[in-house]
Amino acid sequence: MNYANLKKGLAVSVATAVIALGGAGLAKAETPSWCGPKKATLALLDGYGGNSWRQVTTASGKQTVELCPSITKYEYADGQGDTQKAISDIKGMAAKGVDALVVFGDAGPAMLPAITSVFKAGKIIVPYRVAVGGKEGMNYSKFIGSSFENDGVTWGKWIKGVLPKGGNVLFLSGPAGNSQGLDELKGLKSVLGPEYVFVNQAPFAVTNWDPALTQKVLTAEIAKNAKIDVIVSDFGPSLVGALPAFTKQGKSIPALATSDGNSLGCFWQDNHASNPDFKLFTVATGNDNVRLAVQWAVALATGGEKPKEQIFEAPAYEDSVSGKPNAVQCRKDLPGAIYMSSALKPEDQAKAVGQ
Amino acid sequence: MSAVSTIPTRADSYAPGRMKLTRSFVTVVFSTMVLLIACLVFAPSSVSWGALSGSLPFAAIIAIVGLGQLMVVQQGGFDLSLPGAVSLAVVVSTHYPQQNDGLLYQAVLLALAFNLTIGFLNGALVSIFRLNSIIATIGTNALLYATVFAMSGGVPSVTTGLLANIAGGETFGLPNAVYFALGATALVSFMLKKTVGGRRFEAIGASPAAGEAAGLRVRSYQMMAYVYAQLFYCLAGVLIAGITREPTAFQGDSLLLPSVAVVVLGGTSLLGGRGFPISTVLAAFFLNQLSQFALSVGVPYSAQTIIQALALGFGIGVYSLRWSGKVRKTT
């Protein structure tokens, strides 16, 4: 290596070091109010971590934790969809001496005994998003739910805007009887009057959030109902493969009220020109629910200021009609399985989902 | 072919004088007809062309995995590595190319390599090491899922445009996946029924001991059943990757039960022996149409499940009806 190259290399390293140190200094200067002075350790526990939504969520949780220098150690465990493992993860983390636990209790109330025992042992434990039953202060420190009913209301209002005279609504949700779908329906019904006819079987068409099943279900519904004016779905990206079924049956893709996802945004951009009725409205898919839960856990564990919000309300995100709060977003250079609504930068999400 | 008459198999399977119309074929056709009439009466939308062209690709997938499972069942085994094998093929053909059409053929070859390796492993475990097929294939299924996670991290990936066109497109008004299924059926039927190797394969399935006595290489035939099966799982996985725009990493999970169901509905004995590929494929159409019917009737989810169970019971019950004249009553 000649001298000039060495010099260049040295200069680059120094510059990097300066930027890194400067960045660290900057982060330190911006210690958020929910981060108190007391040192603590924190663990994020997932019931099932094996999809892109969870990976983006986990990365968001980690990023939030890193904002608070009082958290000396951060750990993560994935229950891998096994309730027994999720329970033993919680108990194991508590036994290891972790001070604060943030829990995605996929198994619902089945997680409550483990959560309660950890809470009784004097730990800070914050379940989020999935209701686990129990009461704040008795079974856990704080529950940070997500208002799915609010999502339903948001969708309902938009539907009223694009279809003021009423119309046929097709509502798709996940597994049979899942509480998220039921809450959303409550929200929808609170806004939409009888002039809006739900053409699916009550309470919603079951898709298990599986793209293949969604495709089958949608095909059957399109054939059955001569006119579908708007589709409501709580997992937009799983519809991407199914929507071309409309085109195949010689119909335009109808209006769609759902949650956001990069693949869906790109699909809209590619197809809205040839489908005049295809209007798209999304609410944020809610990866940032974890941030609020982590902030609460950190505030309680480190003696920081408690956040003002007690429940996560997914904001409206994209609207192809008004362009507000955002026009439809699409990043073709990044994986389809990321969520532009997340506060985590799209590039970091791409890294989190390993692509 | 003279080999036909020497194969030891259940005598009732051969209707004298008409080789083509076997009992299983008649049964499946009859059940499907009844179902189609029920569709026309109760849920006409489920047999509209639009609904059919949307659901036929899924019927084709079930048919293809059914053919794979058929091979293994004919040798008296069960292949529970199907979910992992299909999911891995899906993951390899979506994650490896990352929407780059140029890498698609490599991805398909890679998927094939994975599936063949697992096929040989399954086959060796069952035929050489004499492990129970259920145990062996559960183990390899776990191995397959480990690979699925290693490759994808459980994250779905968008499929390549080329694959979506090949697998999800239509030619002469029929979904391309249907042609793949028809091709696979023709291939299996020909190989099983019209080649010496196929006849031996069935004979060994019916009685490995007799095959051994006749000097056939029983173990290698048994082993190859698992390898052939994997070829079909791989095909199914690649097709799913094209039909579903953003398939999950666990797309094979929902195919295991249907694969066994169509083999049974197709009239193949779970004890091994003679296989009925055409009936199996028709049963796949039956099963798929059944779920479309349940969806289209517009009843609650619970009732959908019950309708499917009843119709399956009916499908199998038809066998007993035709049996009742001949079968001796058990005391």
Q: What is the pLDDT of residue B329?
A: 47
Q: What is the pLDDT of residue B159?
A: 85
Tell whether A171 and A273 lie within a shared domain.
yes
Domain CATH number, residue A76: 3.40.50.2300
Q: Is residue A231 included in any domain, yes or no?
A: yes
Query: Cα–Cα distance between B315 and A91 in angstroms, integer?
Result: 49
Average pLDDT in the A198-214 region?
Answer: 87
Q: Is residue A319 included in any domain, yes or no?
A: no
Contact residues of B toward A, CB < 8 A: 43, 45-46, 48, 50-51, 53-55, 58, 95, 98, 149, 152-158, 170, 240, 243-249, 251, 254, 291-292, 295-296, 298-302
Asked if B54's CB is within 8 angstroms of A223's CB, the reply is yes
Across chain A, mean pLDDT equals 87
Position B319 confidence tier, pLDDT thresholds 50, 70, 90: low
Indicate the length of chain A as a whole number: 355
Asked if B152's CB is within 8 angstroms of A354's CB, the reply is yes
Position B321 confidence tier, pLDDT thresholds 50, 70, 90: low
Average pLDDT in the B2-28 region?
Answer: 56
State what percent of residues in chain A have pLDDT above 90: 57
Q: Is residue A248 included in any domain, yes or no?
A: yes
Asked if B300's CB is within 8 angstroms of A51's CB, the reply is no
**B314 phi, psi to nearest 5 deg:** -65, -45
For A29-49, b/e burial (b = at least 16 CB within 10 A) is eeeeebbbeeebbbbbbbbbb
Candidates B48, B251, B299; nearest CB to A201: B299
B117 or B268, which is more confident: B117
Strand ranges, E, within A186-227? 196-198, 205-206
Query: Closest Cα of chain A to B45: distance in Å?
Result: 5
Domain that holds residue A94: 34-146+286-314
Specify burial of residue B9 (Cβ count, 10 A radius: 0-12, 13-18, 19+).
middle
Candidates B46, B50, B245; nearest CB to A241: B245
The β-bridge relationship of strands A40-46 and A100-103 is parallel
Position A6 confidence tier, pLDDT thresholds 50, 70, 90: low
ipTM of the complex: 0.78
Q: Which residues of B touch A227 (CB under 8 A)?
A: none
Query: Closest Cα of chain B to A98: distance in Å?
Result: 27
Q: What is the pLDDT of residue B9?
A: 47
Lowest-pLDDT choice from A106-110, A297-301, B60-64, B127-131:
A106-110
Cβ neighbours around B147 below 10 Å, total: 16
From A283, A306, A340, give the residue that closes a domain.
A283
Specify burial of residue B322 (Cβ count, 10 A radius: 0-12, 13-18, 19+).
middle
Q: Is residue A4 included in any domain, yes or no?
A: no
Q: Is residue A350 included in any domain, yes or no?
A: no
Position A9 confidence tier, pLDDT thresholds 50, 70, 90: low
Is A250 an interface residue toward B (CB < 8 Å)?
yes
Asked if A245's CB is within 8 angstroms of B54's CB, the reply is yes
From A283, A303, A323, give the residue that closes a domain.
A283
Position A82 confidence tier, pLDDT thresholds 50, 70, 90: confident
B7 or B180, which is more confident: B180
Tell whether A157 and A189 lie within a shared domain.
yes
Q: What is the pLDDT of residue B322?
A: 55
Q: What is the pLDDT of residue A27?
A: 47
User: Who contacts A337 (Cβ-Cβ below 8 Å, separation ≥6)?
Assistant: A52, A237, A261, A262, A263, A353, A355, B155, B156, B157, B158, B246
Q: What is the pLDDT of residue A25?
A: 44
Is A174 an interface residue toward B (CB < 8 Å)?
no
Tell whether A180 and A116 lie within a shared domain.
no
A13 or B25, which is more confident: B25
Q: What is the pLDDT of residue B14?
A: 45
For the cut 50, the answer to whether the pLDDT of residue B18 exceeds it is no
Q: Is residue A278 included in any domain, yes or no?
A: yes
Query: Cα–Cα distance between B94 and A146 in angstroms, integer?
Result: 33
Position A137 confidence tier, pLDDT thresholds 50, 70, 90: very high
Place of tokens 């082993």: B223
B222 or B322, which is more confident: B222
Place of tokens 């008409």: B18
Reply yes or no on domain B46-321 having CATH 1.10.3470. Answer: yes
Query: Cα–Cα distance between A340 and A182 in angstroms, integer?
Result: 26
Choose, out of A52, A185, A199, A227, the residue to mutate when testing the contact with B (most B CBs < 10 Å). A52
For the cut 70, the answer to whether the pLDDT of residue A88 exceeds it is yes
Tell whether A103 and A125 lie within a shared domain.
yes
**A246 phi, psi to nearest 5 deg:** -65, -50
A332 or B183, which is more confident: B183
**A312 phi, psi to nearest 5 deg:** -90, 120
What are the DSSP calls for B121-190, one per residue? HHHIIIIIS---HHHHHHHHHHHHHHHHHHHHTT---PPPHHHHHHHH-EETTEEHHHHHHHHHHHHHHH
Tell whether A163 and A120 lie within a shared domain.
no
Position A324 confidence tier, pLDDT thresholds 50, 70, 90: confident
* Cβ-contact A234, A259 below 8 angstroms: yes
Q: Is residue A59 included in any domain, yes or no?
A: yes
HSE of B222 in the Cβ direction (CA atoms, 13 Å)? Answer: 29
Q: Which residues of A touch B171 (CB under 8 A)?
A: none
Lowest-pLDDT choice from A38-42, A156-160, B19-23:
B19-23
Asked if A353's CB is within 8 angstroms of B58's CB, the reply is no
Total domains, chain A? 2
Tell whether A94 and A194 lie within a shared domain.
no
Q: What is the pLDDT of residue A5?
A: 65
Q: What is the pLDDT of residue B11?
A: 45
Tell whether A173 and A136 lie within a shared domain.
no
pLDDT tens figures, B251-260: 888 899 889 8
Q: What is the pLDDT of residue B265?
A: 87
Q: Is residue A328 included in any domain, yes or no?
A: no
pTM value is 0.79
Asked if A354's CB is within 8 angstroms of B157's CB, the reply is no
User: How many angstroms separate the most distant Cα atoms in chain B?
Assistant: 65
Asked if B298's CB is within 8 angstroms of A219's CB, the reply is no
Average pLDDT in the B293-313 region?
Answer: 80
Position B301 confidence tier, pLDDT thresholds 50, 70, 90: confident
For the cut 60, the answer to whether the pLDDT of residue B330 exceeds it is no
User: Who contacts B86 (Cβ-Cβ below 8 Å, separation ≥6)?
Assistant: B65, B233, B236, B237, B240, B251, B252, B255
For the cut 70, the answer to whether the pLDDT of residue B331 exceeds it is no
pLDDT tens figures, B153-187: 777 778 888 998 899 888 988 999 999 999 999 99
C-alpha separations of B199 from A78, B6, B67, B123, B277 in Å: 50, 10, 16, 19, 14
Average pLDDT in the B4-28 region?
Answer: 57
Element (H, E) at A11: helix A3-29
Nearest CA in chain A to B250: A210
- Written as six digits, the tokens of B318 are 């038809």
HSE of A101 in the Cβ direction (CA atoms, 13 Å)? Answer: 30
Tell whether A163 and A276 lie within a shared domain.
yes
Asked if B251's CB is within 8 angstroms of A55's CB, the reply is no
State what percent of residues in chain B have pLDDT above 70: 89
